[in-house]
Amino acid sequence: MGFVAPTVSEYLVDNYVRDTVRPVRGSVVYCKLGGIAEHSGIYVGDGKIVHLDGDGSIEVVSRRTFIRRLGGVNPALSIYVSCVDTSAAGTEAVAKRALAMIGRQRKYNVILDNCHQFTSGCLTGNFDNSDNFWWMVKDTAEKKYKVDNWRVWKAPKSV
């Protein structure tokens, strides 16, 4: 029961107490995967995210597809957005790097070549980086773009 209570309270605070944001092109986005890991990508506009899928494909997807990891059984309800203070943070250069990678294939490995390495590559231009864990991507975003917090993506009314 200790696992569920913090997750529910965190969800309530993040979605109903803290301000939510809409991402800007080049924002880093992530969702939680069953409370044990995270999945990350880059927001490129029009409600779309570029990410590295589990089969090694770099593709552009909707919010819904992005969050429905683990064969659609991911219990995540929120996508988090990179922010500086209370505003979404991202750059056009990051969005362009992500878009340029669509259709490419990588030798996906859950530990050694994963979505986090792709996301960090979009931030830095170095897709052969060693940022294989979410905390490493967060650190890169903080250093390069002064990201200081992560807020829930405010869903459009139609979703």
| CATH code, 112 | 3.90.1720.10
Residue 159 has pLDDT above 70, yes or no: no
- Specify the pLDDT at position 11: 66
Question: Looking at the domain assignment, is residue 63 inside a domain?
Answer: yes
H or E element at residue 82: strand 80-84
Question: Looking at the domain assignment, is residue 157 inside a domain?
Answer: no
Total of domains in the chain: 1
Contact assessment for residue 87 and residue 73, using Cβ atoms and an 8 Å cutoff: no
Read off the pLDDT band of 102 (50, 70, 90).
very high
Residue 17 has pLDDT above 80, yes or no: no
Higher pLDDT, 81 or 35: 81
Question: Looking at the domain assignment, is residue 47 inside a domain?
Answer: yes
Residue 3 has pLDDT above 50, yes or no: no
Question: Looking at the domain assignment, is residue 73 inside a domain?
Answer: yes
In this structure, is the dihedral angle defined by the CA atoms of residues 105, 25, 147 and 87, taken in order, positive or negative? negative
d(CA 36, CA 96): 30
Task: Find the domain containing 20 and state its range.
Answer: 4-152
Question: Looking at the domain assignment, is residue 159 inside a domain?
Answer: no
Question: Looking at the domain assignment, is residue 119 inside a domain?
Answer: yes
Look up the pTM and report it. 0.89
d(CA 51, CA 64): 13
State phi, psi for 110 to the nearest 5 degrees.
Answer: -55, -25
Task: For Cα atoms 76, 103, 123, give the angle at the middle one, nearest 5 degrees.
Answer: 65
d(CA 153, CA 30): 10
- Specify the pLDDT at position 67: 87
d(CA 17, CA 108): 37
Output the 3-class SS for 5-66: HHHHHHHHHHHHHCCCECCCCCCEEEEEECCCEEEEEEEEECCEEEEECCCCEEEEEEHHHH
- Specify the pLDDT at position 83: 98
- Specify the pLDDT at position 76: 75
d(CA 74, CA 90): 26
Question: Looking at the domain assignment, is residue 158 inside a domain?
Answer: no
Question: Looking at the domain assignment, is residue 19 inside a domain?
Answer: yes
pLDDT in tens, 22-58: 999 999 999 988 778 899 999 999 999 999 998 999 9
